């Protein structure tokens, strides 16, 4: 039993979240194995962002448990182990006068702690994080001068600089040009394989899920599928579209009749 808890970076059990008397998430079970690259897909309003907020400890569930790195979330204090890249569009002011270096450096804020300043070794770390997302030639550019995709890379570097073991990305390909999505996934793949960073990616766009992903979970209030990428491919196409149909035909479907499928990530 202990062996498995160490293997799993995130374990969510029987999670329920209610907002305004309505269940946003029901009976969610999900586990993320160390070193995996999990994509959670679901239509808009399926509760994806809520699930992320719960995992980050920004909101508390009414029922169920979340453990991070084998510790219950209420006792978890090693936030620097988790890097978070939010949907960039709604969270920052593009006219903000900060260079790429300064933005990435801000990722060390919590890890360094209060009343601490950047040391020389931190400068190296910041440069390495910027290099690992291929943005080294933009070090002294203001963040607002970059394209959407470049900004997204900078935010990933900001998350990477504290050397997280788990990187959570919320709709990372929104605002990235279609032609750059592939190279974006290449970069994520190298973070996953070369640096051994566990990745959790959340997206509404099933078409952008790349073959680099190792595991897939389909979410629409309930967890409809949770298994390996191969198993996901074998899912009949109409099953997937059924999950997606929910936001369109929400009144005609009864969510409770969908039984929960649980597939193990590894055998």
Partner 1 sequence: MISGLLQYEFLQNAFLTGMIIGVIAPLLGVFIVVRRLSLIADALSHVTLAGIAASLLLEKKFMLFSGLNPLYMGMAFSVGGSLFIEKLRTVYKHYQELAIPIILSGGIGLGVIFISLADGFNTDLFSYLFGSVSAVSRADLWTILIISILVIAVVVSLYKELFLLSFDEEYARATGIAAKSLHFIFIVMVALVIAASMRIVGILLVSSLMTLPVAASIRFAKGFKQTIFFSILFGEISVLGGLFLSYYLDLAPGGTIVMIAVLILVLAIWYKKQAAARSI
Where on the chain is the footprint of partner 1 (CB under 8 A)?
Answer: 56, 58, 79-80, 84, 86, 91-93, 95-99, 101-103, 105-110, 112, 114-115, 117-118, 140-142, 158
Give 115 or 211: the residue with its C-beta nearer to partner 1. Answer: 115
Q: How far is the CB of 199 from partner 1 (least distance, A)?
A: 17
Q: How many angstroms separate the CA atoms of 28 and 163, rounded? A: 28
Give 12 or 108: the residue with its C-beta nearer to partner 1. Answer: 108
Give 3 or 114: the residue with its C-beta nearer to partner 1. Answer: 114
What SS3 class is residue 180? helix
Q: How far is the CB of 119 from partner 1 (least distance, A)?
A: 13
Q: How far is the CB of 75 from partner 1 (least distance, A)?
A: 13
Strands (E), the chain: 8-19, 22-33, 37-41, 63-68, 71-72, 82-85, 166-170, 198-203, 215-220, 222-228
Q: What is the DSSP string of 90-107?
A: GT--TT---BHHHHHHGG
Q: How many CA atoms lie within 13 A of 203 on its CB side?
A: 18
Q: How far is the CB of 44 from partner 1 (least distance, A)?
A: 19
Dmax (CA) of the chain:
60
Give 97 or 207: the residue with its C-beta nearer to partner 1. Answer: 97
């Amino acid at each position: 039993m202990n062996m498995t808890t160490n293997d799993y970076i995130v374990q969510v059990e029987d999670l329920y979240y209610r907002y305004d008397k309505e269940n946003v998430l029901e009976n969610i079970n999900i586990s993320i194995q160390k070193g995996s690259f999990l994509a959670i897909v679901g239509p808009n309003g399926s509760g994806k962002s809520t699930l992320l907020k719960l995992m980050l400890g920004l909101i508390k569930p009414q029922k169920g448990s979340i453990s991070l790195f084998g510790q219950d979330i209420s006792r978890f204090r090693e936030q620097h182990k988790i890097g978070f890249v939010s949907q960039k569009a709604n969270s920052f002011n593009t006219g903000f006068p900060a260079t790429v270096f300064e933005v990435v450096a801000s990722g060390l804020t919590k890890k360094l702690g209060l009343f601490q300043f950047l040391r020389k070794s931190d400068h190296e770390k910041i440069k390495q994080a910027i290099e690992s997302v291929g943005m080294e030639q933009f070090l002294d550019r203001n963040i607002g001068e970059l394209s959407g995709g470049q900004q997204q890379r900078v935010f990933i570097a900001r998350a990477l600089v504290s050397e997280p073991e788990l990187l959570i990305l919320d709709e990372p390909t929104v605002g990235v040009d279609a032609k750059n999505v592939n190279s974006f996934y290449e970069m994520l793949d190298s973070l996953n394989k070369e640096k051994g960073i566990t990745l959790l990616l959340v997206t509404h766009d099933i078409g952008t899920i790349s073959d680099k992903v190792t595991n897939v979970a389909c979410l629409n209030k309930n967890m409809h599928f949770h298994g390996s990428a191969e198993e996901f491919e074998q899912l009949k196409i109409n099953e997937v579209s059924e999950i997606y149909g929910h936001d369109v035909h929400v009144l005609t479907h009864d969510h409770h009749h969908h039984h929960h499928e649980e597939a193990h990530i590894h055998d």
